[in-house]
Structure 1
Amino acid sequence: MGNEEQGAIYRDVVRAEWVDYNGHLRDAFYMLVFSFATDALLDAIGLDDEQRRSRHRSVYTLEAHVNYLHEIKEGVAIEVIVRVLAHDTKRMHLYLEMHADGHTGPVAASEQMMLHVDTNGASGPRAAPFDPDVIDCVRKHAAASAMLPPPSYTGRVIGLRRERSQVLGS
């Protein structure tokens, strides 16, 4: 592992309670690890827990795609590299890769769309522009991410190829 130059932001070890009946990291816990990594990104851009509370701001996940590339077992050290692929005034398009000891490439990848919200609205949370200091940090992360090779697992669509004989009504 040791991907600091690529923006490794979250490290952990596969915990016993995350392992399924096959002895591997349970599919839902890949997303949990990615969620912890996005929390670490929030800390890095100035939206740690204290700032989220005092500013009445948060970030919600709008969409997430997960690619399960390799099984990993209990006790394996993992790290997640988080990249900001794009952003606008209210959203971030993220790419996350999970790496594990003993594997040369990623064991999982996730592409996510995040929305910045004002949590103090009278009618509930509403989309809101990032505060100036936060958007500045987002821009810095995006610029650093742009210097890296293109991500391997983005823009994928889920589905089966349809052949003539499988189309309904044929």
Structure 2
Amino acid sequence: MTEPHAAIPLVTGVMAIEPAWIDYNGHLNMAYYNVLFDRAADEILGHAGLGPDYIATRNLSFMTAEIHVCYVREVFLADPVTVTMRFLDLDAKRLHVFAELRHATEGWLSATSEQMYLHVDMAARRTAPFPEDVMATLTAMKAQDDGKPWPERAGRKIGIVRKG
């Protein structure tokens, strides 16, 4: 685990789109945006000690309670991508994040994902507080985003806007 007061990167390495993820429209299928966002969460939250060995060593994990994806621009098989994650809120058992999927070399926005994670005791299969060391690192990660404006697409709801 990283020292809690060290700056922790909240951006992934470059990720490739896999051929099986391309749909009949010739672009990334909507389901695989979630795969990319999930892999990004594993990579970024791994810096807080929430990586693959977390269950094995502590019998604790985190799970997604809610997710909202906005598709902004198509990505295709040859497009390299990265995900940047912002921590919007945090309490003893929950983490609220906002992630952006961007073209890795051109920088344009492809999709956003707002997510609520729950910290879970795997033996009880119930929510549980983050351990102190993990909470300290998550708090330091969140501090990197404190004071930034709320993302435009965060907190949105789905609905048809009617005029008049």
Q: Do they superpose with TM above 0.5?
A: yes
- Asked if 2 retains the 8 angstrom alpha-carbon contact of 1:118 and 1:128, the reply is yes
Unaligned runs of 5+ in 2: 1-7
Distance in structure 1 (CA, Å) of the matches to 2:70 and 2:41: 17
- Scaled by the length of structure 2, the TM-score of the pair is 0.88
Deviations 1:8-27 (A, max 9, x none): 12431111111111110100
- Asked if 2 retains the 8 angstrom alpha-carbon contact of 1:118 and 1:126, the reply is yes
Q: How far apart are residue 104 of structure 1 and its match?
A: 4.0
Amino acid corresponding to residue 154 of structure 1 in structure 2: A
Q: State how 1:61-140 maps to structure 2 within 5 Å.
A: 61-101=64-104, 103-121=106-124, 125-140=125-140
Q: How far apart are residue 6 of structure 1 and its match?
A: 7.2
State which of 11, 26, 29 in structure 2 corresponds to 1:26: 29
Distance in structure 2 (CA, Å) of the matches to 1:147 and 1:102: 28
> Do the aligned partners of residues 10 and 152 (structure 1) sit closer, same or farther apart at CA in structure 2, a change above 3 Å counting?
farther
| Equivalent in the alignment of 2:45 | 42
SS at match of 1:146: coil
Distance in structure 1 (CA, Å) of the matches to 2:45 and 2:83: 14
* Mean Cα deviation higher: 137-146 or 6-15: 6-15
Q: How far apart are residue 84 of structure 1 and its match?
A: 1.0
> Do the aligned partners of residues 82 and 156 (structure 1) sit closer, same or farther apart at CA in structure 2, a change above 3 Å counting?
same
Q: How far apart are residue 48 of structure 1 and its match?
A: 1.5
CA-atom RMSD in angstroms: 2.1
Unaligned runs of 5+ in 1: 165-170
> Do the aligned partners of residues 25 and 15 (structure 1) sit closer, same or farther apart at CA in structure 2, a change above 3 Å counting?
same
Instruction: Give the 4+ runs in structure 1 shifted more than 6 A.
Output: none
> Do the aligned partners of residues 69 and 163 (structure 1) sit closer, same or farther apart at CA in structure 2, a change above 3 Å counting?
closer
| Equivalent in the alignment of 1:168 | none
Query: Which has the larger helix fraction?
Result: 1
Q: What percentage of residue pairs aligned between the two structures are identical?
A: 34
Amino acid corresponding to residue 119 of structure 2 in structure 1: H
- Asked if 1 retains the 8 angstrom alpha-carbon contact of 2:64 and 2:115, the reply is yes
Distance in structure 2 (CA, Å) of the matches to 1:66 and 1:41: 18
